[in-house]
Structure 1
Amino acid sequence: MEPLTTAAIALGSVVATKALEKTGEKVGETLWEQTGKFLNSLNKQSPDTVAAIEKVPQQPLDYGKAVLEVESAAKTNPEVAQAMTELATTVEAEPLPNLAAILKDIAQALNSQPSKPQIYIKTIEKLVNFAQGDINIHEQNITI
């Protein structure tokens, strides 16, 4: 799976986990650890992005911009790329009940981005398929 899709899934997972925490629901320990690891590595590369993520849901997040920033961080920092991939893989094994709705919001945000429309269309399709359980990360060729 290309970095943009993995970045979107990782970002959606963080937002979904944070939303569940706010409602008092518990998430799996592995998912909790992977989310923390991802945010920690991303914070070293892009602290402004992490700060914006941390403010959700009190302050709306520009999903399109955030996904592009996460993708860029992963391309330049192998630690971010590894944490991002591990989080996406963990979410596949431990699905979050609210992830599908968040991935649809991210897909809509990417759809409104003016540049790279063909790449975004493929990513949007993969996000929708992932949210519906129709894509398996392990069957894809994950390269960051």
Structure 2
Amino acid sequence: MEPLSTAAIAIGTVIATKVLEKTGENLGEALWDKTGKFLVTLKKHAPYTVTAIEQAPKQPLDYDKAVLEVESAAKANPEVNQAMEDVAAAAKAETNPKVVQVLNENWQGISIKGGINTIQYNNFNFGK
């Protein structure tokens, strides 16, 4: 998977986790753990990005900027890259359909430079 796609999925998963947490929805333990580890790891290298991600969806998030910052941190630090890969893999393996629904709702109308983003069922597609 391309790093940019993985970064976008990771950010979307964090936001989906936060939205579902507020509704009392149960998420898989792996997704919950990987999301937390991703945020802790990313915060060491890009604290402002984590703050912006954590404030979404209450405050608008510049997804393009956030994805590029996560991608940059992942390229510069193997620990961030691994945490990003782990949360994206956990999101793809998550069986709760609400996760995909919230991800899809959050991606509506968002344009990722250089590609087209769609989320269908448990498939995350970012392409040209």
**Fold shared by both chains (TM-score > 0.5):** yes
Amino acid at match of 2:35: T
RMSD of aligned Cα (Å): 1.9
Offset at residue 103 of structure 1 (A): 3.2
Q: Normalising by the residue count of structure 2, what TM-score does the alignment of the two structures yield?
A: 0.85
Where in structure 1 are there 5+ consecutive unaligned residues? Answer: 112-119, 138-144
Which residues of 2 match residues 46-65 of structure 1 at below 5 A?
46-65=46-65
**Counterpart position of 1:109:** 111
Q: Distance in 2 between matches of 1:41 and 1:70?
A: 11
Helix, strand or coil at the partner of 1:26: coil
Q: Distance in 2 between matches of 1:135 and 1:58?
A: 26
Offset at residue 135 of structure 1 (A): 4.6
Which residues of 2 match residues 31-50 of structure 1 at below 5 A?
31-50=31-50
Q: Distance in 2 between matches of 1:26 and 1:92?
A: 16
Which residues of 2 match residues 1-144 of structure 1 at below 5 A?
1-95=1-95, 96=99, 97-105=101-109, 108-111=110-113, 120-121=114-115, 124=116, 127-128=117-118, 131-133=119-121, 135=123
Amino acid at match of 2:111: A
Change (3 A) 1:88 1:24: same
Where in structure 2 are there 5+ consecutive unaligned residues? Answer: none
Whichever structure has more helix as a proportion of its residues is: 1
Offset at residue 34 of structure 1 (A): 0.3
- Structure of greater relative contact order (alpha carbons < 8 Å, 6+ residues apart): 1
The number of aligned residues is: 121
Q: Distance in 2 between matches of 1:104 and 1:134?
A: 16
Amino acid at match of 2:89: T
Amino acid at match of 1:36: G
